[in-house]
Chain A
Amino acid sequence: MIQYAAIILFVFGLYGLFTNKNVIKMIISLNVMEVGLNIFIISIGFNSDPNSIAPIISSTNQLSSVFVDPLPQALVLTAIVIGVGTTALGLAIAKNIYKTYNTFELDEMEESA
C-alpha cells in the first residue's frame, strides 16, 4: 500500500544520494526523497470511510460530515514550495561548478582550478 511505498521511496532517494557521483544526479535523488516524504505525510491523515470527503465546506458539504484531516495538507503545501526553492539554489551552484571545473563528476574535479 501507499505508506510502505512512500517509505521505500525515501530510502531509494537516500541510497541514490550516497552512491551517485554526478552533481545533477544527487539533486535528482534529493527530489525523489522529497516526493516520498510528502506522500507519507498526507497518508497519515487519510480516512477510508466511504462517506469521508475532502475538507471543504460548501452548499453541498455540511459541517457534520466526516472530513479527512486538514492539518497534514497545510504542512505539505508549504513543504512543496520550499522544495522548489532548494532545487533552484542547488542547480545555480551546479552551474557555477561547471563554469569553474568544466565537469559534473566528483572524481574528475581537481584541486587547483
Chain B
Amino acid sequence: MKNIFGFLISVTLGVFIILALANTDAFPEFGSANTDNRVSSQYLIEDNVNDIGSGNIVTAIVVGYRGFDTLGEVTVLFISALGVAFMLSSPKQERLDLKFRPNFMLRVGSKILFGIILVTSFYIILHGHLTPGGGFPGGAIIASSVLLLYLADDKFRSNIKSFKILEGVAGSLFVIIGLLGLVLATYFLQNFLPAGNIGELLSAGIIPIIYILIGLKVGSEIAGIVDNFLTEEESA
C-alpha cells in the first residue's frame, strides 16, 4: 500500500457507512422499497397525475414538483462554464495543432452524421414527457454532435458568439416563464397552461417548453466548453 494511514482511514469510513445503513425504516433492505410510506406516494396518486398531465413521472418531478432545484442546477452549470471560459481564453485564438490531417472522406462524411445526430437530439428533447429522456440528455447529444465536427476537421471552429447568445436567451426565458407563473397564477413556476390528456404530444402544460429551453442551454454550454479546450493562443 502506498500510504498506510490513508488506507486505515478509508477502511474505517467504509465500515462505519455499512454499519450505519443497516435495516431501518429509512434504508430498507435492497429490493423492498415500498412507495406507500414514502414521499413518492403523493406523486403517484390518480388526482395529482392527471393534474400535471405528464406520462413520465420523473419528468413531472424534475420540472413540475421540484422545478426550483432544476433552476439551481442550471445556475451551477452556467457558473462552471463561465469559470472555464475565464481560465482558458486569450485574445487571439487558433486551433490546437495536433500534427495530423484527417482524411477527405472523414471531413465530408461527418457533416451528414451531424445532421442525423441533431435530429435524434430534437426527438429526445421534444418527447421528454412521454418517453425516457428529456432536456438533459438531449442537450448533451447536441454537444456531442458539435464535438464530432471538431474531431473530424482540423480547422473547424464553430460560431461561439451565437452559442453564447443562445445560452443567455434560453436561461432568461426560463426565469421569465417562472415569473409569468407568479403573475398569472399563485406561485413561481406554476403550470398555467392546460394539462391535457396523458400520452399526447401537446399535453402537460409548460413542461415541454421548459425542457426545450433547458436542452438548448445545456447543449450550447457544453459546446462552448469543448471549444475552449481545443483552442490556444497564437504562437506569434
Name A's B-contacting residues (CB within 8 A): 1-4, 7-8, 10-12, 14-15, 18-19, 43-48, 54-59, 63, 67-71, 73-74, 77-78, 80-82, 84-86, 88-89, 91-93, 95-96
What residue of chain B has the Cβ atom nearest to residue A82's Cβ?
B76
Task: Tell me whether A92 and B130 are in contact (CB under 8 A).
Answer: no
List, in ascending order, chain A residues with CB within 8 A of B76's CB: 82, 85
Nearest-CB distance from B46 to chain A (Å)? Answer: 6
Counting chain A CB atoms within 10 Å of each CB, the highest count among B81, B84, B222, B229 belongs to B84
Nearest-CB distance from A45 to chain B (Å)? Answer: 5
Nearest-CB distance from B37 to chain A (Å)? Answer: 11
Alpha-carbon gap, A89 to B18, bound state (A):
32
Mark the stretch among B58-66, B109-117, B161-169, B183-191 that contacts chain A.
B58-66
27 cross-chain CB contacts under 8 A: A2-B30, A19-B2, A45-B33, A47-B32, A55-B44, A56-B131, A56-B132, A57-B55, A57-B199, A58-B199, A67-B57, A69-B35, A70-B40, A70-B58, A71-B38, A71-B40, A74-B61, A78-B73, A81-B136, A82-B77, A85-B79, A86-B80, A91-B229, A93-B87, A95-B87, A96-B87, A96-B88
List, in ascending order, chain B residues with CB within 8 A of A12's CB: 10
Name B's A-contacting residues (CB within 8 A): 2-3, 6-7, 9-11, 13-14, 17-18, 27, 30-35, 38-40, 43-44, 46, 49, 55-58, 61-62, 66, 69-70, 73, 76-77, 79-81, 83-84, 87-88, 130-132, 134, 136, 140, 198-199, 218, 222, 225, 228-229
Nearest-CB distance from B111 to chain A (Å)? Answer: 26
List, in ascending order, chain B residues with CB within 8 A of A85's CB: 76-77, 79-81
Task: Tell me whether A46 and B70 are in contact (CB under 8 A).
Answer: no
Nearest-CB distance from A69 to chain B (Å)? Answer: 5
Nearest-CB distance from B234 to chain A (Å)? Answer: 15
Task: Tell me whether A77 and B14 are in contact (CB under 8 A).
Answer: no
Alpha-carbon gap, A18 to B3, bound state (A):
8
Task: Tell me whether A69 and B13 are in contact (CB under 8 A).
Answer: no
The total of interchain contacts (Cβ-Cβ below 8 angstroms) comes to 135
Task: Tell me whether B222 and A84 are in contact (CB under 8 A).
Answer: yes
Q: Indicate whether A19 sits within 8 Å of B6 (C-beta atoms), given known contacts A48-B32, A81-B218.
A: yes
List, in ascending order, chain B residues with CB within 8 A of A2's CB: 30
Nearest-CB distance from A63 to chain B (Å)? Answer: 6
List, in ascending order, chain A residues with CB within 8 A of B66's CB: 74
Nearest-CB distance from B16 to chain A (Å)? Answer: 10
Alpha-carbon gap, A103 to B66, bound state (A):
44
List, in ascending order, chain A residues with CB within 8 A of B40's CB: 45, 69-71
Nearest-CB distance from A68 to chain B (Å)? Answer: 7
What residue of chain B has the Cβ atom nearest to residue A61's Cβ?
B55
Task: Tell me whether B228 and A3 are in contact (CB under 8 A).
Answer: no
List, in ascending order, chain A residues with CB within 8 A of B43's CB: 70-71
Task: Tell me whether B33 and A18 are in contact (CB under 8 A).
Answer: no
Q: Indicate whether A3 sits within 8 Å of B10 (C-beta atoms), given known contacts A81-B136, A81-B218.
A: no
Task: Tell me whether A78 and B57 are in contact (CB under 8 A).
Answer: no
Alpha-carbon gap, A93 to B88, bound state (A):
9
Counting chain B CB atoms within 10 Å of each CB, the highest count among A69, A81, A86, A89 belongs to A81
Task: Tell me whether A74 and B58 are in contact (CB under 8 A).
Answer: yes
